[in-house]
Amino acid sequence: MEDCLFCKIAAGDIPSKKLYEDEQVVAFYDIAPQAKVHFLVIPKRHIPSAAALTEEDGALLGHVFAVIAKLAREQGLDNGYRVISNVGEDAGQTVKHLHFHVLGGEKLPV
Ligand code: AMP
Ligand code: ZN
């Protein structure tokens, strides 16, 4: 999608510190980390937020969470981590392309 920051990152048109990429998803470090480890996992396909997901996206979501689990292991997040997806204004969603924050590496505030 034109004018979407994360579509541009997925396409490689805007640089990012990528941890992982395959045909469906990209993972990269958050530019303003909120924890010792903070990366984002996004589908390459433009989906505005979790509110736009349908039953047909089940396989994609399963893949996203399998990638998250693999990357969390690789990043040494054995003691746990948090996965967050903000939806809309009240949640503070600033980038309107579905993304999953993965936070860890330290005790996170409750
Ligand atoms: P949200 O507020 O849930 O929409 O999250 C958007 C996240 O994207 C924020 O945590 C930002 O720090 C992060 N972000 C914005 N621009 C970039 C970028 N160019 N590279 C990596 N992360 C970014
Ligand atoms: Zn997009």
Counting atoms of ligand 1 from 1, which one is nearest the CA of 93?
4
Which residues, including other chains, have CB under 8 Å from residue 2's CB and lie 6 or more apart? none
pTM value is: 0.98
64: exposed, middle or buried (C-beta count within 10 Å: 0-12, 13-18, 19+)? buried
Asked whether 49 lines ligand 1 (CB < 6 A), one says no
Cβ-based neighbours of 70, under 8 Å, separated by 6 or more:
20
The answer to whether the beta carbons of residues 85 and 91 sit under 8 Å apart is no
Q: What percent of the chain has pLDDT over 70?
A: 100
Ligand 1 pocket member 98 (CB < 6 A): no
Alpha helix ranges (H) inside 48-103 = 58-74, 88-91
- What pLDDT digit, counting tens, does each position of 68-99 carry? 999 999 999 999 999 999 999 999 999 999 99
Phi and psi at residue 62, to the nearest 5°: -60, -40
> Does CATH number 3.40.50.300 belong to domain 5-104?
no
Q: Yes or no: say if 57 and 47 are a contact pair by the CB < 8 Å rule.
A: yes
Q: Write down the pLDDT at residue 2.
A: 83
Q: Does ligand 1 lie within 6 Å of residue 54's CB atom? A: no
- Nearest protein Cα to ligand 1, atom 19: 31
